[in-house]
Amino acid sequence: MTLEAQARAALERGDLAGAVAAAKALALAEPEQAAGFFLLGMAAAEAGQIARAVPLIQAAVERGPRAEHLAQLARLLILLRRDGEAADAAREAMVLAMARAPGDALTLDTIGCVLARLGDHEASVVPFTAAVAAAPGNLDYRYNLAAASGFTGRVDQARAHYETILAEDPGNARAHYALAILSRQTARANHVPRLEAALAKARRPEDALRIGYALAKELEDIGNAADAFRHLSAANAEHKQAIRYDFSQDAAIFDAVEALFGGNANALATGPGNSDPAPIFVVGMPRTGTTLVDRILSSHRDVGSAGELQAMPLAVKQMAGTPSRVVIDPATVAASGGIDPAAIGDAYLARADHHRPRGKARFTDKLPANFLYIGHIARALPNARIVCLRRGAMDTVWSNYKNLFASQSAYYAYSYDLMDTARYYARFDRLMALWDSLWPGRVLQLSYEALVADQEGQTRRLLEHCGLEWDEACLSFHKNSAAVATPSAAQVRRPINADAVGKWRAHEAALEPARAWLEARGIAVE
């Protein structure tokens, strides 16, 4: 067995010491060849030493680019948040990989995953399709292709791939959930019996969570509100316990933001910020119309969507230099006050640049949680426009409670408990009032209900606030062919409608504790 084969075999069985020994011997024996350096890098990556792995794999690439090496380099660069370099490596890898038929399925799938992480779902379809063609029996590759197909509006293809997965693996929770949210179910066409059977057999908590959400979604679609809520509340309660969430974790972040910006203004560094007018921030609680407004804006001839960027949270974290492993915490918020606003603006634009659609003067960043960063945005990017979606309190609470977000993301940990969701809404509402008092008129607080009731009037108001001329295409946002990677994908491919207004009333009795709590605190509830 060659040294390269020894190293690869050791990596495959998890023997990192054996892999390092064989790879090091190979690199010493053949220093002009790429394989030893690549395998040393892969061993370091498997050990969690990503920053050490990257230069080793870069050394392999310098000795002659190969698709496998570039794809793995791109994957690791994504983990280090070096998106621009990752994009370059992934696209070079794709050129090399697509030149071979059949290609290396793992390399092709890796390229697709990097492109998807970069938000380029349309481009990801090509390598994902090739990966499935090269390894049709690999269900993980097929799932990735199905997801990309759904994000890009290829709904029939996505459905067919999910069904193929479930035919082979009837308990595949990811496929069950993805299929449930792919489109609205009907009394005549749904998967409720199959989901009930899968839930009864689910053994892993994460599988039960996804299948429970899928079942609740389909039951609500067909009008069975009581059973929908029963499954949803059971799934949420179990997951909240698993992640050990307490609302005080989010309350501390809100407290820190309010203390920094609403307290002693002298604690904030002064400076003019970066004057670039390109960004348009679309913020708000999740599931309140942010995707809809992003589609409206990106249908404009001068605007492209950059998707949900982590660019502002990461810019603030980077400049604050705090040691915590989370992107936002009270210490990071407090430390960020002393940073030159222009430095934050520069860092944001550098991170966002790799995601901006080319050929467009303006771009949208629709990370909902950027409402926490409006103070930073207002100071760091004084010419950027900010739009905050406002939806009725109870529809907001219900839509957050019933949607499965990234289950390990701290941004959405509140959403697995009804009262935590109400508490989070109340703090969001209070923070938006603070921003309005500090920067009157800087944030357009756009009512979702007003938008669906008066599409043209509110769209004109939206464009005027963003400094954009009227464009009739904004009224036909549902014809926008760009990918959508949020739970709203199915809705925003339909013309505007009021179907989602007042949806909480189907669960009025179950939601009464949240409604009464909000009302007692002076928050308007319909």
pLDDT at 185: 93
| Residue 508 falls inside a structural domain | yes
| Residue 469 falls inside a structural domain | yes
Q: Considering its fold, how many domains does the chain have in total?
A: 2
Sheet (strand 385-390) strand order: 303-305, 362-365, 279-284, 385-390, 443-447
Nearest alpha-carbon partner for 404 in 413, 393, 396: 413
Verify that 288 and 374 share a domain, yes or no: yes
pLDDT, tens digit (0-9, with 9 covering 90-100), for 109-118: 999 999 999 9
Verify that 229 and 281 share a domain, yes or no: no
Nearest alpha-carbon partner for 137 in 168, 107, 159: 168
How far does the chain reach from its first CA to its final CA, in angstroms?
72
Verify that 220 and 342 share a domain, yes or no: no
pLDDT at 119: 87
pTM of the model: 0.89
pLDDT at 81: 87
Task: Write the CA distances from 124 to 118, 148, 153, 198, 379, integer angstroms.
Answer: 10, 7, 13, 30, 36
Nearest alpha-carbon partner for 378 in 234, 244, 205, 261: 261
Verify that 511 and 383 share a domain, yes or no: yes
For residue 442, with 0-12 CB atoms within 10 Å meaning exposed, 13-18 middle and 19 or more buried, which class applies?
middle
Give the chain's residues under pLDDT 70: 264-265, 407, 481-494
DSSP 3-state of 284: strand
- Counting Cα atoms < 13 Å in the Cβ hemisphere of 504 gives 21
Verify that 228 and 258 share a domain, yes or no: no
pLDDT at 460: 98
Verify that 212 and 355 share a domain, yes or no: no
| Residue 367 falls inside a structural domain | yes
Encoding tokens for residue 201?
């057999």
| Residue 55 falls inside a structural domain | no
> Given 204, 228, 244, which residue is the final one in a domain?
244
pLDDT at 380: 98
Instruction: Give CA–CA dist 238/255, Å, rounded.
Output: 28
Instruction: Give CA–CA dist 17/4, Å, rounded.
Output: 14
Verify that 326 and 233 share a domain, yes or no: no
Which residue type does 287 have?
Answer: R
CATH of residue 320: 3.40.50.300
Verify that 212 and 179 share a domain, yes or no: yes
Domain extent for 179: 170-244
> Given 196, 229, 244, which residue is the final one in a domain?
244
Encoding tokens for residue 348?
């944001």
The C-alpha torsion from 338 through 340 and 345 to 346, rounded to 10°, is -130
Verify that 216 and 329 share a domain, yes or no: no
pLDDT, tens digit (0-9, with 9 covering 90-100), for 284-338: 999 999 999 999 999 999 999 999 999 999 999 999 999 999 999 999 999 999 9
Nearest alpha-carbon partner for 314 in 79, 22, 26, 42: 79
pLDDT at 139: 98
| Beta strand pairing call for 385-390 and 279-284 | parallel
Helices (H), 222-338: 225-243, 248-262, 290-298, 311-320, 330-336
Reading phi first (left if > 0) and then psi (alpha if -120 to 50, else beta), residue 186 is in beta
| Residue 493 falls inside a structural domain | yes
pLDDT at 496: 80
| Residue 471 falls inside a structural domain | yes
| Residue 456 falls inside a structural domain | yes
pLDDT at 483: 62
Verify that 309 and 348 share a domain, yes or no: yes
Verify that 441 and 470 share a domain, yes or no: yes
Helices 67-79, 83-98: inter-axial angle, 10-degree rounding: 160
| Residue 346 falls inside a structural domain | yes
Verify that 230 and 330 share a domain, yes or no: no
> Given 244, 265, 285, which residue is the final one in a domain?
244
Instruction: Give CA–CA dist 61/90, Å, rounded.
Output: 12
pLDDT, tens digit (0-9, with 9 covering 90-100), for 410-426: 789 999 999 999 999 99
